[in-house]
Amino acid sequence: MLDHIFLTVSDIDRSIAFYTAALGPLGITQRLDYDGRDGPPGHPDLKGFGAKDRMFFWLRAGKASRNAVHVGFVADSKAMVDAAHAAALAAGAREIHPPGPQLHYDPRYYAAQVVDADGYSLEFVYKSWQHGS
């Protein structure tokens, strides 16, 4: 299981707005700003997102490296995948593939994939045998 990820983004305010919109349908909300001065020397400032009292997705300002990261976000239903996909597109993402079964993995693997403004690949995933009911 993934504990956390730091994603370096080129425009922190734009990325906060994008991820707030795109992850909202999944129940993931911006919840914490971490001041790097509170950590060891050189620790970056972080903008944290999480759900269910767990912080796991963090943004930090810097130079983005396109195609360096792919992040799969858990959805609890096909409807949540659809909603996150729609919200991401409305917030400025580019579509890689629309919501639907990913037969190359498993017929029960339902997902949609987009690219954010920094070129990062994001997938919203519902696996009926793992996520939800």
Domain that holds residue 111: 5-127
Given the DSSP bridges, would you call strands 29-34 and 46-51 parallel, antiparallel or unpaired?
antiparallel
As a whole number of angstroms, the distance between CA 127 and CA 129 comes to 5
Cβ(61)–Cβ(15) below 8 Å? no
* In a domain? residue 132: no
Q: How many domains does the chain fold into? A: 1
* In a domain? residue 133: no
Find the CATH number of the domain harbouring 35.
Answer: 3.10.180.10
* In a domain? residue 113: yes
User: Which positions ≥6 away from 11 have C-beta within 8 Å?
Assistant: 117
pLDDT in tens, the chain (133 residues): 467 899 999 999 999 999 999 999 999 987 899 999 998 899 999 999 999 888 999 999 999 988 788 999 999 999 999 999 999 999 999 999 999 999 989 999 999 999 999 999 999 999 999 876 5
Please choose, from the candidates 64, 48, 58, 46, the residue with its C-alpha nearest in 3D space to the C-alpha of residue 119.
64
Residue 133, pLDDT score: 57
